[in-house]
Every structure is written in C-alpha cells, then in structure tokens.
C-alpha cells in the first residue's frame, strides 16, 4: 500500500511536534507562525513565506518553505529562491532551493544557473538539480546568451575548481551534460524556426 503524501499543513505540524519534542522553542515558535501563514489566502501566504525564507536562520524552515514553493506554481518565488541559493549562509543546503526552482521554467534565469555550474566545486546534488533546471527550461532562448553559456561551460576548467581528483571525471561529465542539454534545446528552437512557414 502506498503511503499518503502529507499536506504542507500536516508537514508543518510534524515539524512543530518534532521541535517541541527536542525542546527547540525557537524553531517550534517559528512553525507556529508558519502554520498561521499557511492559513492565509494563497497569494498572501506565499508572500509571507517569501519574507520568512529570507529572514529565518533555521534550515528546517528553509527546507520546508522550499518544498512549499516547489508546488505552489507561483513564479514570484523564483527570486527569493535564487537569493537563497546565492546566500553564503546556505552553503551546503542550496540543492533544496535549486530543486524547487526546477519546478518552474527558468529560461529567463539561464545565466544565473550557468554561473552556478561554472563556480561549482563539488559535482554533487546541487549540480544534478541545476541540470534538472536546465532540462525544464522551455525557451525561447536568446541565441547570444545561450551560445555564451555553452561556450563558458565547455571552457570550464573543472580540475582547478574541484579539489578531489577522483571527482574530476564526474565533474566533466556533468559540465558536458549541461552544455549538451542547452545545445539540444537550441537545436530544437532553430529547427522549429527553420520549419515554420515564412
């Protein structure tokens, strides 16, 4: 029998109970507020959670909000998620925010995600999530921006960025895969333009 997925409210209540059981009053208090925010009309709730994502020091809350944002289908959440990805305080936790972005068409933010890949020092989950973001981009792409991104990816010198030599082949594979995803999307775009009647 399959396990029933928890609603966001049920998941927040679960976090609240866990925080109370652990004696973490600050986190418990925050999840009381999150539960109140979830009761608001959808647009207002999303706005309140966007502010909370920027303000909270608790990674449990950040993770919870990223999961909510993955499902709300509200593109306003992309900017706060991208700020969370770029925030040095979130190093080691960025994959959560990138996965949430992958639920949206991030074509307009192509340069941001290419920069993430170019600066990556570990071919781990954040890179895999970035590949998913690229794969879910729908276009149309600005040719100069896409070509520049592909060229930068193909010129990337992974061995200088990734300290663990055993990961160099994986890093090269992911970097090449990112360039391939973008080239494939651009080929499709050019092909459709070619085939469309004048």
> Residues 126-185: pLDDT tens digits?
999 999 999 999 999 999 999 999 999 999 988 888 888 899 999 999 999 999 999 999
Token readout for 44 is 């207002």
pTM above 0.75, yes or no: yes
pLDDT at 62: 97
Report how far residue 175's alpha carbon sits from residue 22's, in angstroms, rounded to the nearest whole number: 41
Computed over every residue of the chain, the mean pLDDT equals 93
What angle do the packed helices 94-101 and 59-71 form, to 10 degrees?
10
pLDDT at 106: 98
Residues 71/103, Cβ–Cβ less than 8 Å: yes
Q: Is 128 exposed, middle or buried (0-12, 13-18, 19+ CB in 10 A)?
A: middle
pLDDT at 1: 42
Token readout for 29 is 């208090």
> Residues 51-65: pLDDT tens digits?
999 999 999 999 999
pLDDT at 3: 55
Q: Which of 36, 29, 30, 49 is CA-nearest to residue 9?
A: 36
Angle CA(39)–CA(40)–CA(41) in degrees, nearest 5?
A: 120
> Residues 71-126: pLDDT tens digits?
999 999 999 999 999 999 999 999 999 999 999 999 999 999 999 999 998 889 99
Token readout for 64 is 């919870």
């Amino acid at each position: 029998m399959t396990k029933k997925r928890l609603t966001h409210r049920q998941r927040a209540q679960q976090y609240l109970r866990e925080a109370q059981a652990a004696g973490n009053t600050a986190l418990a208090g925050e999840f009381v507020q999150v539960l109140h925010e979830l009761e608001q009309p959808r647009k207002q709730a999303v706005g309140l959670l966007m502010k909370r994502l920027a303000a909270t020091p608790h990674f449990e809350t950040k993770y919870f909000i990223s999961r909510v944002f993955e499902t709300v289908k509200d593109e306003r959440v992309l900017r706060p998620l991208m700020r969370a990805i770029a925030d040095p305080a979130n190093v080691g936790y960025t994959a959560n925010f990138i996965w949430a972005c992958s639920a949206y068409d991030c074509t307009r933010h192509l340069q941001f995600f290419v920069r993430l890949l170019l600066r990556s020092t570990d071919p781990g989950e954040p890179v895999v999530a970035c590949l998913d973001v690229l794969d879910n981009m729908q276009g149309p792409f600005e040719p100069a921006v896409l070509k520049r991104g592909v060229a930068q990816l193909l010129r990337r010198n992974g061995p200088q960025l990734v300290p663990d030599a055993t990961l160099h082949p994986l890093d090269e594979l992911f970097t090449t895969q990112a360039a391939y995803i973008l080239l494939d999307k651009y080929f499709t775009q050019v092909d459709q333009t070619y085939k469309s009647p004048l």
